[in-house]
A = this chain, B = another copy of it.
Amino acid sequence: MANKNEKMVEQITGMDVDFAQWYTDVVKKAELIDYSGVKGCMIIRPYGYAIWENIQRDLDSRFKALGHENVYMPMFIPESLLQKEKDHVEGFAPECAWVTVGGENQLTERLCVRPTSETLFCEHFRNVIKSYRDLPKLYNQWCNVVRWEKTTRPFLRTSEFLWQEGHTMHETEKEAREETQRMLGVYRDFYAETLAIPAYTGRKTEKEKFAGAEETYTIEPMMHNGVALQGGTSHYFGTGFAEAFGIQFSGRENTLQYPHQTSWGLSTRSIGAIIMTHGDDNGLILPPRVAPIQVVIVPIAQHKEGVLDKANELKARLVKNFRVKLDDSDNSTGWKFSQYEMKGVPLRLELGPRDIEANSCVLVSRVTREKTVVSLDNLEEEVEKALNKVHDELYQRALENMKARTYTATTLDEFLDTAKNKSGYIKAMWCGETECEEKIKSLTGGVKSRCIPFDEEHLADTCVCCGKPAKHMVIWGRQY
């Protein structure tokens, strides 16, 4: 018990020593990624990609249950197409990668590698939406996108990343607005139920919304160190793109109308959120519902007769319901413990001669290191229960951290003092002016509005920055 919290994998920098270095150590040593010679692009290794596959499977079934269909658009956007909606091109052109040579010829028009695909979807929507009977169109695509970033970090900010982008068209504004919120709700549920990550959700300010959107909604989980990560966004576009692209349908009263549009996206950044929300000084901790290995079986005294046979028998039983690995390698038991802790396997199953004699085994939680002796008779139920417990423990721990690191400020001094001395979110009133957001960002060296939460509180009557009448409560924070 004494060394329950000892740092077993010495190579990982402590979180409190240097959080950024801890993150880099974890992504490399848990074999999630490798760096490549291509500027700002990462290699996602099998263990990292398996997390993404589990995320995809879960989200995809949530989308399909709501009637969405997957499609695939080209990865190139001709410059003239990108320019059709002016706010959109202003937002994205500065970070595009441009193809200028194809085969052995200079192209007459350069092609942007998609940073997002609103323009391509709109070009297609114009072909297939003629009547209200063609609506809604509920499309999604899983693909790679490119945004030319100056400074990059694995998962958090890379020049190329993987994501899903939903694009929908609706007959009425009401339907489209409902879709925007519904899909943010899907993200919120996914973060909570699948990744065990709580979050604030709400609306972005004018300054922070997506290029071309009327409204942007966002989910803002807080990382262990109090910094925000934008976990997914959902946009309502109104009819702006439809007008720019000439998409019209004949409505129920036989008049030509513009459809109302949404888009929403969630990317491989979510893996960064998992790492930074749940990890500890021993490495990664993976939420059971996306962990590539949910249970690792470590035989104790495996040279003794019957141990490996029994371990294989348990594996054969568990593999029907769980993602299981049995490590029967020659490595020491201590090394195995450290290794799978570092890789964040949520549950360890220890099985030795005495356990076998007692018809039991030991389950060890990666979160609390709590050991539970369970009977082999109902092992499946015990493992299920233990994995759900790990999920709940992770969620609760993250929620407590987020609550503890959410501060309130009613004066500018208080705000600046908190921003300087604490790491976390600050709730404060705001007048609605971009000027105050800019001033706060400048005075604090980077604190920005995260969102106007759905459940605003009334903390004061005046804006924390300028003292004018407050319009909204905003959650503020630094971000990845």
Contacts and interface: CB of A to CB of B under 8 A. Distances in A.
Q: From A41, A76, A120, A139, name the one whose CB has the most chain B CB atoms within 10 angstroms.
A: A76
Contacts of A74: 36, 38, 41-43, 160
A139 B241 CA distance: 41
A34 to B, nearest CB: 6
Interface in A120-171: 120, 123-124, 127-128, 139, 143-144, 146, 148, 150, 159-160, 162
A75 interface: yes
A34 B70 contact: no
A73 interface: yes
Interface string A8-44: 0000000000000000000000000010111101111
Contacts of A69: 46, 49-50
A466 interface: no
A138 to B, nearest CB: 9
In the assembly, how many copies of this chain are there? Answer: 2
Contacts of A139: 46
B96 A103 contact: yes
B97 A70 contact: no
A38 B113 contact: no
A409 interface: no
A145 to B, nearest CB: 10
Contacts of A123: 36-37
Contacts of A42: 74
B75 A144 contact: yes
A70 B97 CA distance: 26
A229 B113 CA distance: 30
A46 B46 CA distance: 29
A102 B37 contact: no
Contacts of A128: 34
A77 B38 CA distance: 7
A354 interface: no
Interface of A: 34, 36-39, 41-46, 49-50, 52-53, 69-78, 81, 94-104, 110-111, 113, 120, 123-124, 127-128, 139, 143-144, 146, 148, 150, 159-160, 162
26 contacts: A34-B127, A37-B81, A38-B76, A38-B120, A43-B71, A43-B73, A43-B74, A46-B70, A50-B70, A52-B72, A74-B160, A75-B160, A76-B160, A94-B104, A97-B99, A97-B101, A98-B99, A98-B101, A99-B100, A99-B113, A100-B101, A102-B148, A103-B148, A103-B150, A143-B144, A144-B144
Q: Which 7 A-B pairs have the closest CB atoms?
A: A41-B74, A46-B69, A103-B148, A44-B72, A98-B101, A38-B74, A102-B148
